[in-house]
A and B are shown apart, each in its own frame.
Chain A
Amino acid sequence: CKKYLDINKDPNTATTVDPKLLFSFAVVSYANLRSSGDSYIPFALAGQSVATGGNNPTGWGVPSEEQYKISSFSNANSWRAYYTTVGANLKEAIKLAESASPVNNNAAAQNKIVLAMCAYEATTVFGDVPFSEAWNTNISYPKFDAQKDVMEGCIALIDAALKQFDDASPLKISDYDLFYKGDLNKWRRLANSVKLRILMTMVDKDPTKVAAIGTMITAGNFIGASTDNCLINYQDVAGKKNPKFLLNEQYNNGVDFFFGCNYVVDFMRNLADPRLPRFFTKPDQAADYFGVENGATADDNVNVRVSPLLHSAVEPEVFFSYQEELFYEAEIQARGLGVPVNLAAATTLYRKAVQQSCLFYGVDAATAQTFAASLPDLSTVASPVKLIHMHHWVDKMDRGIDAFTQWRRSGPSGDETPALKLPIGAPAGPLFRRFEYPTTNEIAVNPNAPKNRIMFTEKMWFDL
């Protein structure tokens, strides 16, 4: 009888796995979140880095996320990704790596860095979020940590990872490492750059971070080449295509739903930016590249759409790029954050950043170099920091939440770069500032969660 009843082992699941198997699922889930309808579309539209094209028949249509109608699915699915499919699997991989015998320190460190990226992003999306008590099977109702504490926690996690790397050990995630194939030096550089990104987000609210930034700039070892870019490649194979591409392929006969918005296109057109044809498709009838006002109905003969060259099946999802690193460094030099103000160094860095951006988006090397060299010397412009911010934001045009965070941290309310206006059709009131907390999968279930509705127009700690 005992043997007859001893059948309660699920034949379809594993009781032990290599941490790399959890890592791969987590990072693919993370990439999909960032490039799909739950994160990319709401942040790109509400953050106005692209436009819907209003009532254009083959545009995304209004009312939409551009009018701040954010589906509760998007709030809930983003939260679910940060905390379960991505965060919890990374956390479990860390646990498995550290409890293995011998300990797989490198795998633990690799997972910690991605977890820090994930938690940082979660707090930039939602504000105060569970961190110190999250992902713990012994704590059913995690408390919500202040955003500052979450960011500090992410920095601590990165520091721990950096200490944990062990070049002497052959144990690490390599074949399943979709970023760097197990190159620990690239991981170290990513870790430093991610830490710098977090400090740069904090520094305006918490000026004590200036010193840490200075220390980091002195020490160096950031992402230093496009080969260091942290990204996940999609493939032109069914089931592995970039979700942005799939949306256009499956709903719109391959026509891109999204239009270039005035903020981006006007800025680029005025510079005759060589990235324009890489970013946008110009109608044959149009004399030049013209965007559309956010929420306005786009004219197929006038307004540019996002190019299939950008929203291609194989467009990678970028988590951290070399040019992003260079823009931070340019900003640090221009603002003198922990270093003396050095506009010459800043000029070199921001031109290099734009050049790298051009190269990344497929502009040929000579054109990229010429264009970058043609950009004004920062010592000659009225607001050098704003110019760096604008270039930085334009580079992140297709990176939803990253562009939105860049915009929010670019200046105090009303003085951000660019100076966004309320999109047509958006409810009167302040600009969009965040996702609201998801009700069903967190707020309603967690007695430690804030009970008052925090509106999407409310600023969070780092957002001045």
Chain B
Amino acid sequence: QDRTITGTVTGKDDGLPIPGVSVKVKGTNNGAATGADGKYVIKVPSGSTILEFSSVGYVSQFATVGSGNVVNVSLGQDAKMLGEVVVTAMGIKRETKSLGYSVTKVSGDELTKARETNVVNALAGKVAGVRINSQSGTLGGSSKIVIRGGSSFNDSGQPLFVVDGLPINNGAPMVSTTSGSVPQGSAGTDFGNRASDINSDDIESMVVLKGAAATALYGARAKNGAIVITTKKGIKGQSSVTFNSSTRFDNILKVPEIQNEYAQGTLGLYDRTTLSAWGPKLSDVQGRLFPDFLGNQVPLTAHPNNAKDFFKTGQTYINSISFDGADEKSDFRLGYTSTVQSGIIEKQKLNKNAISFNAGRKISDKFEVRASINYTRTKGEGMPTQSSNDPNVLIGTNYLPTNFDIAQIRNNYIDPVTQQQITITPSRNGNNPYWIINNNTSTNVVDRVFGNGILTYKPVSWLTISDNIGTDFYNENRFLPTRNGTVGALTGSFINANLYNRVMNNDFIVTFDKKLNSDLGLKVIAGNNIYETYSRSDQALAQNLTVDQLYNFSNAASVVNQNGSSKKRIVGIYGDVGLSYKDYLFLNVTGRNDYSSTLSKDNNSYFYPSVSSGFVFSQIMPENNWLSYGKLRASWANVGSDGDPYRLAFAYTGQSTAFAQYGFGSSFPFNGVLGYSIPSIIPNPELKPQNQNSIELGTELKFLKNRISLDFTYYNTNTKDQIVNLPLPQSTGFAFKTVNAGSIRNSGIEVTLGLVPVKLTDFTWNLDVNFAKNKQVVTLPSDIASYALASGWSGLQIKVESGKAFGIYGSAWQRDPNGNIVIDAATGLRKTVNDQRLGNTAPDWTMGINNTFSYKNFSLSFLVDIREGGIMFSNTVATLRNSGLSPETVANRGNIFVDKGVIQVGNTYVPNTVPVQSMQDYWGQYTSTNTESSIFNASYVKLREVNFSYKVPSAFLQRNAKFLKGLEIGVEGRNLWIIKSYVPGIDPEANLFGAASNGEGVEFNNFPSTRTIGFNLRVKL
């Protein structure tokens, strides 16, 4: 018997009815369509229970007809389909098909399926041309985004983060007691980048604007692209409670291998004063006893699992709950997310609480108000100190010769009687890692609030006047204690730093939107922007503590204070004229003029225009079966940007300390006098805005009824007149001078390919591939041979030269004209030459492959992330080799070893016959005098993400658990497997330089990255 089913189809995003949705009864020819109010009526024959709802631009959905006669459905937008609306620059919503540039949207669902505590990481592998670079596996650690290659010599080129129209801060400030661009000592601690305060559960969508034409309206701030985030709002007619719970387990992704044949010592002899493993062969000294670090006489035995035992399984619990609802006039959403995380080493914790509230109301037909506020409190504990020059550097001291037993070290780090540290060697490098872990736990607490208010007035249907005012501020307290008894700071010390940051932003926008005639539409936008950022840091280093473990300034014999602040303002006026012809030809012209406080009055005004056009040519093609959609895009933009504050005038800075190696400088006032210094950078009062010119061409094609879709983009961006701190030889008395010099051209292609290889009623296989290839070419003025972006240690630098891309430079093996390595006849060891280019830091290309299999309500997806090309330097590998810990250092010990190479005799080279004195010398020379030996191919293939989820059918819920609107369970995995890599024991993505630096490809005692497996439960009430 036929039944009549009725219902309403609404949009998942906005709750508004969707007209024109096709409704079909599966297995029959019965069909209907929704009306303007989204309602439909359909006859369903007996025996049929499934309805299919489909509409262009939305994901098709099946619904089961239960016992009732009403089936309401909400459809989610399909990111790959046409008709999609995306939020572009300045919060302007535009149809994707009208855009003249490439945008990529990542929906909130994508971000919450396998949740990352740092939302930036969730983009990894998903967007063509967007590279994510995380600094470490530290909980809450920082991640950097590079869009279409680095375009700046001076900064890390981070995109602008915009949340509901408010540009927010994504800083990663370093706290260091020694100045320098290299994150050393306490500055090597990874406290994260502040975009991580954005809660992924509150995100409705994330749009990545890659090119200048896309971001031109944001002005200078978005010269590196923009991540435009729209937060979730209450959905009309759907008062609901959503609960999302994840439990995850983290463990170390890759552990360096340690050799288990030789014990601690030097030159074949046991020596407990060193952490090197150049001691005796274990099998040769069985039956003999040696003093261990506790002074006990013990036999030397292997402990092959030390490194594995050192790292434990971390746990993460992310629970979020949200309440939302809306009626005709008002909407609200209140969300709360709790993240509780413990790390893979003891005492490492992260605790994050995020509350968000978003509400809007139509005061009248013409006037609407909306406000949102987000509060996040993040507390991190036990962040390890990375890099060098700090007694608290952890990684490195936990990779030990095999005769150590990590359990014994763990259980014996403190003398129970004296409360003194039990060091693992009596020498100056002997800190017990568990002393560091248990006592010297770095902590940060971030309190952050951001939010805005939006007033919209629509006096007539074609005119909208709106104002969006917002602020974003945070206070971060960092505390880095070093307990009395820590070797290197035996009298104890602590650093306390308060970092305050504030952004204020106001946009006043007038929009004129009218159809001029039946074919021609015109949209004109005019706006004014006022933007201010202010940051302040107050930090103090307290030394010589009297009462043990009391970290109060009154307990310190000396406190060295440092403070600083900076403020910058931009005023901008902008406009956007958009023309549309017959819904297939679109043209947009934008212009913005900025006035920046950081440039001189003569140079502080700069204008940048952009033109973009989209042509949906398939609209004027005859109907056909193979091409369902075709579009061409073209855009051109020219944007300028300012520099940092206070770069124009020569000024003298009061000094709190005078440097001395090993961290023992003197503090001022010294013997009653203060000290001042000239700047390290020669300022430039004539500084001009830098200028970026870019073109972008692209096409979007869909074939065979959307079974194949292809998006291809070519871009070419030239950033010239760069405001750079040009490194000077220090014999000038300065380290840098600020100039407008040099250009960086990034050109490349981005391809996104979507395939639906299989589409059956119950089963779908989606295959999405994104590919990006970027070519970077730097041009420097002829008088500048090279330019250093960042310095590492031991002569390693990230540098550029004309005609090349960002590269790693350092010492390399000396080679004869035939490429043979030259050996020193006196020692049998390899010779080195300084300052050689060793390779590019950026990859040749990157690719993400995502497969999604859906069967009924089951879904399985996995994302493979591929990087090809580029190099990295690993100091951990160098250290392990230097100290004889790496398995490869076992070879030839005790044998005569003649390195392969040549010896110079006069002007000729003959094969080397000189043996090395010892393998300890060989590896010592191999790693300590040379950068090249610790350089590796940074390519990788990674299984980035696996998701398996099951959505309980709504019909089942209606029958058995009516109070539930939705129930979904899933298993999620992230960073599961490094399928292919060339770096021994290290994740090739590790990077010492944080999100604030454009240095890349240097690993220096980095905290290892983790693998995550978790479970997820989503309930909607």
A residues at B contact (CB < 8 Å): 1-2, 4-17, 20-22, 24-25, 28-29, 31-33, 35-38, 41, 55-58, 60-61, 63, 69, 72-74, 77, 79-81, 83-85, 87-89, 91-92, 129-130, 133-137, 139-142, 175-176, 178, 232-235, 237-241, 243, 246-247, 249-253, 257, 427-429, 439-447, 449, 453
- Are A10 and B664 in contact, CB atoms less than 8 angstroms apart? no
Residues of A within 8 A of B11 (CB): none
Q: Is the CB of A246 within 8 A of B597?
A: no
Residues of chain B contacted by A14 (CB below 8 angstroms): 651-654, 676
Is A58's CB under 8 angstroms from B426's CB? yes
User: Most chain-B CB neighbours within 10 Å: which of A79, A142, A441?
Assistant: A441
Tell me if B896 is interfacial: C-beta within 8 Å of chain A: no
Q: Is B266 an interface residue (CB 8 A)?
A: yes
B660 close to A439 (CB less than 8 A): no
CA distance A71 to B665 in the complex (A): 18
Flag if B732 contacts A134 (CB, 8 Å).
Answer: yes
Closest Cβ–Cβ distance, residue B494 to chain A (whole Å): 13
Please provide the chain B residues from 685 to 704 with a CB less than 8 Å away from any CB of chain A in the complex. none
CB proximity of B925 to chain A, nearest CB, Å: 9
Name the 4 nearest CB pairs between A and B, nearest first. A88-B733, A25-B675, A37-B661, A238-B558
CA separation between A57 and B733, bound complex, in Å?
41
Q: Is the CB of A17 within 8 A of B652?
A: yes
> What's the Cα separation between A176 and B668 when bound, in Å?
12
CA distance A133 to B729 in the complex (A): 12
A89 touches B834 (CB 8 A): no
Q: Which residue of A lies closest to B486 (CB)?
A: A250
Task: Determine whether the beta carbon of B665 is less than 8 Å from that of A32.
Answer: yes
Do B795 and A5 have beta carbons less than 8 Å apart?
Answer: no
Contacts of A13 in B (CB 8 A): 646, 651-654, 679
A-B pairs with beta carbons under 8 Å apart, 27 shown: A1-B571, A22-B677, A24-B674, A24-B675, A25-B668, A25-B675, A28-B675, A36-B660, A38-B661, A58-B427, A60-B428, A61-B427, A92-B678, A92-B733, A142-B731, A142-B732, A175-B673, A233-B671, A234-B666, A239-B558, A239-B560, A243-B664, A257-B428, A440-B797, A443-B835, A444-B834, A446-B729
Given contacts A72-B793, A250-B488, contact A445 B662 (CB under 8 A): no
Shortest beta-carbon distance from A231 to chain B in Å:
12
Chain A residues with CB under 8 Å of B672's CB are 175
- The reply on B462 being an interface residue by CB < 8 A is no
A439 and B737 contact, CB distance less than 8 A: no
Are B730 and A80 closer than 8 Å at their CB atoms?
Answer: yes
Residues of A within 8 A of B649 (CB): 8-10, 15
Contact in complex: A28, B658 (CB < 8 Å): yes
Give the complex CA separation of A140 and B741 in angstroms.
14
The 0/1 profile, CB within 8 Å of A marked 1, for residues 484-528 of chain B is: 000111110000000000000000000000000000000000000
Q: Is B648 an interface position by the 8 A CB rule?
A: yes
Q: Which of B649, B732, B785, B795 has the most CB of A within 10 A?
A: B732
Contact A130 B731 (CB under 8 A): yes
Within 8 A of A (CB), among B202-233: none
Q: How large is the interface on B (under 10, 10 to 19, 20 to 34, 35 or more residues)?
A: 35 or more
Closest chain A CB from B375 CB (angstroms)? 29
**What is the bound-complex CA distance between A58 and B272, given in angstroms?**
12
Contacting B680 at CB < 8 Å: which of A84, A137, A257, A440? A84
Chain A facing B: main interface SS: loop
Is B490 a contact of A251 with CB atoms below 8 Å? yes
Q: Is B326 an interface residue (CB 8 A)?
A: no
Given contacts A63-B924, A134-B731, contact A21 B675 (CB under 8 A): yes
Contacts of B294 in A (CB 8 A): none
**A243 and B660 contact, Cβ closer than 8 Å, known pairs A13-B653, A141-B729, A445-B729:** yes
User: A188 to chain B: closest CB distance in Å?
Assistant: 23
Distance to closest chain B CB from A296 (angstroms): 14
Contacts of B544 in A (CB 8 A): 238
B660 touches A37 (CB 8 A): yes
Write out the residue numbers on chain A whose beta carbons fall within 8 Å of the beta carbon of B489: 250
CA distance A356 to B737 in the complex (A): 48
* Given known A-B contacts A84-B733, A444-B809, A8 and B648 have beta carbons under 8 A apart: yes
What is the number of contacts between chain A and chain B, taking CB atoms within 8 Å? 280
Tell me, yes or no, whether B554 is within 8 Å of chain A by CB.
Answer: no
**A28 to B668 Cα, complex, angstroms:** 9
Judge if B565 is at the interface, Cβ distance under 8 Å: yes
Interface residues of B in 849-901 (CB under 8 A from A): none
Chain B nearest CB from A6 CB (Å) reads 7
- Report the separation of the CA atoms of residues A61 and B273 in the bound assembly, to the nearest whole angstrom: 8
B558 surroundings in chain A (CB, below 8 A): 237-240
Once bound together, how far apart are the Cα atoms of A240 and B601, in whole Å? 45
Q: CA A250 – CA B543 in complex, angstroms?
A: 11
B928 within 8 A of A: yes
Contact of B659 with A77 in the complex, beta carbons under 8 Å: yes
The answer on a CB contact under 8 Å between B661 and A445 is: no
Bound CA–CA A137/B726 (angstroms): 13
Provide the bound-state CA to CA distance between A233 and B672, in Å.
12
Cα separation A185 to B917 with both chains bound (whole Å): 58
Chain B's closest residue to A139 (CB) is B732
Complexed CA–CA distance, A129 and B835 (Å): 19
Chain B contacts for A243, CB-based, 8 A: 660-662, 664-666
Complex: A60 Cα to B426 Cα, angstroms:
11
Would you call B195 an interface residue if the criterion is a C-beta within 8 Å of the partner chain's C-beta atoms? no
Of A60, A249, A441, A445, most buried by chain B (CB within 10 Å of CB) is A445
Known: A12-B653, A14-B654, A247-B662. A440 touches B676 (CB 8 A): no
Q: Roughly how many angstroms separate A439 CA and B810 CA in the complex, as a whole number?
A: 9
| Pair B834/A88 contact, Cβ less than 8 Å | no
B556 at the interface (CB under 8 A from A): yes
Most central of B673, B733, B811 by chain A CB within 10 Å: B733
Given contacts A12-B565, A89-B677, contact A442 B731 (CB under 8 A): yes
Pairwise interchain contact A446-B731, C-beta atoms closer than 8 A: yes
> By the criterion CB–CB under 8 Å, are B271 and A55 in contact?
yes
Residues of chain A within 8 A (CB-CB) of B465 are none
Bound-state CA distance A232–B675 (Å) is 15
Q: Complex formed: what's the CA distance from A12 to B675 in Å? A: 14
Is the beta-carbon distance between B652 and A10 smaller than 8 angstroms? no
Assess whether B235 is interfacial by the CB under 8 Å rule: no
How many angstroms from the CA of A445 to the CA of B794 in the assembled complex? 15
Residue of B nearest to A58 (CB): B426
B826 in the interface (beta carbon within 8 A): yes
Please give me the residue from chain B that is nearest to A21 by CB atom.
Answer: B676
Query: Given B651, B661, B737, which contacts A140 in the complex, CB threshold below 8 Å?
Result: B737
| Given A7-B568, A74-B661, A237-B557, 15 more pairs with CB closer than 8 A | A13-B646, A29-B659, A38-B661, A41-B661, A85-B658, A87-B733, A137-B737, A238-B557, A240-B558, A250-B490, A429-B826, A444-B786, A444-B809, A444-B834, A445-B786
Residue on B with the closest CB to A88? B733
Residue from the set B675, B728, B734 with the largest chain A CB neighbour count within 10 Å: B675
Residues of B contacting A72 with CB < 8 Å? 793-795
- Identity of the chain A residue whose Cβ is nearest the Cβ of B795 in the assembled complex: A439
The verdict on B1020 contacting chain A, using a C-beta distance below 8 Å, is: no
Bound together, the chains give a CA A27 to CA B805 distance in angstroms of 42
Chain B residues with CB below 8 A from A241, complex form: 664
Query: Closest B-chain residue to A39, C-beta based?
Result: B661
Give the residues in chain A near B400, CB-CB below 8 Å: none
* A6, A15, A91, A251 interface centre (most CB from chain B within 10 Å): A251
Residues of A within 8 A of B347 (CB): none
Q: How far is the CA of A55 from the CA of B795 in the complex (A)?
A: 28
B809 / chain A contacts, CB cutoff of 8 Å: 444
Q: Is B682 an interface residue (CB 8 A)?
A: yes
Question: Does B301 have its Cβ within 8 Å of any Cβ on chain A?
Answer: no
CA distance in complex: A92, B732 (Å): 12
| B569 on interface, CB distance cutoff 8 Å | yes
- CB A445 to nearest CB in B, in angstroms, measures 5
- B856 CB, nearest partner CB in chain A, Å: 61
Residue of A nearest to B564 (CB): A12
Residue of A nearest to B648 (CB): A8
Contact status B565-A33, CB under 8 Å: no
A4 touching B835 by the CB < 8 A rule? no
Whole-angstrom CA separation of A246 from B428 in the bound complex? 13
